[in-house]
Amino acid sequence: MAVDAARGLAVFGMFAAHVGPDPEVGGAVGAAMQLAHGRASALFALLAGLALVLIAGRRPKAGRDGRQALARIVIRAVVLLAMGLALSRIGSPVEPILAAYGVYFLLALPLLRLPAQWLAGTAAAWAVLGPQLSFAARVAGVGEDGTWLSELLLTGLYPAATWMPYVLAGMALGRLDLAAGAVRRRLAAVGAGLAVLGYGTSWIALRVLGAEQPSEGEGTVAIDDPVGLLGAAPHTGSTFEILGNLGCAGLVLVACGALAERFGPRAAAPLATVGAVSLSAYVGHIALIVLLDIELVPGPPLRVLAAFVAGTLLSAWLWAGRFRRGPLETLVHRATLAARYVR
């Protein structure tokens, strides 16, 4: 329930980033929109890593069961890659994250059997080294060919070079007993610490240099602005942004667990219902943006975001009353049934 509720919040965060008012409007609305930018997609990626562990088994399966679990993940990755590439060709002003998800899943396969401590350590090391290595590689001209693979790995809006820490951290969380109060309290403390470390250290470093916080990026730190590596702006892929986003994602997951525990499952049910059909909701909102020809720059008025949120809540509730899975979730599930033929 908590994981689905967090996924539902991530869906609405993506809506806010895509069809919400520009953060420049200021005030409470602007602050809320700013919180969504970059952090909602990071939360999605963290929850994707957690889902990988749930598919593979919190205690990794062995033998035929293990091979079938790996096959399900590979099939899911291929389907997401296909969906993402198809979405990118319908003329959407939103760059879909689904193809990147497919790449993340494939890259995570060799690490699926690692325990939580090793996954967390790998995530931390990748968060620290990945942005610097990405910057150096792009300065050296790697990825200049502009192919879809180089964009997914290094130069796009969601490059694996700087987004894998979210997936790895989610995998580490999937190994933990998140229903235990002690685990959630530790996660809250770690999340708060990472948020302060990421955003706070960036703020101090830029103040010392007398530099301004970079503006929202296009997935990477610009190679002509090495100071950007010290920033923490959304979609810049710096170490400080990654650490801060990881902290926020952990806090959201803890908050959703606390909501369900304190007020009962019904309190989290509306968000969880949306989270259970998150793939359909995500693809659906991109399709609507294209069909309705919604102008995203500058940000649409708040009523557009409210309509997307209300419509999704109602649609998810009506669908859940009749079906177990969302329409696209059903498609992915049926595709993964082929894994049962693996021996």
Contact 109, 123 (CB under 8 A): no
The residues near 65 (Cβ < 8 Å, ≥ 6 apart) are 57
Average pLDDT, the chain: 94
The string of DSSP letters for 156-203 reads SSS-HHHHHHHHHHHHHHHTS-TTSHHHHHHHHHHHHHHHIIIIIHHH
Question: What does the pLDDT look like over 76-111, one tens digit per residue?
Answer: 999 999 999 999 888 888 999 999 999 999 999 999
> Is the bond preceding 301 in cis, omega lying within 30 degrees of 0?
no
| 12 pLDDT tier (thresholds 50, 70, 90) | very high
Residue 253: pLDDT over 90? yes
Average pLDDT of span 287-294: 93
| Predicted local confidence at residue 24, as pLDDT | 86
Please tell me the pTM assigned to this model. 0.96
Q: Name the amino acid, one letter, at 139.
A: V
Contact 142, 205 (CB under 8 A): no
Structure tokens at 292: 């309705």
| Predicted local confidence at residue 137, as pLDDT | 96
Question: What does the pLDDT look like over 135-168, one tens digit per residue?
Answer: 999 999 998 888 989 999 999 999 999 999 999 9
| 213 pLDDT tier (thresholds 50, 70, 90) | confident
Interatomic CA distance for residues 157 and 97, integer angstroms: 8
Question: What does the pLDDT look like over 272-284, one tens digit per residue?
Answer: 999 999 999 999 9
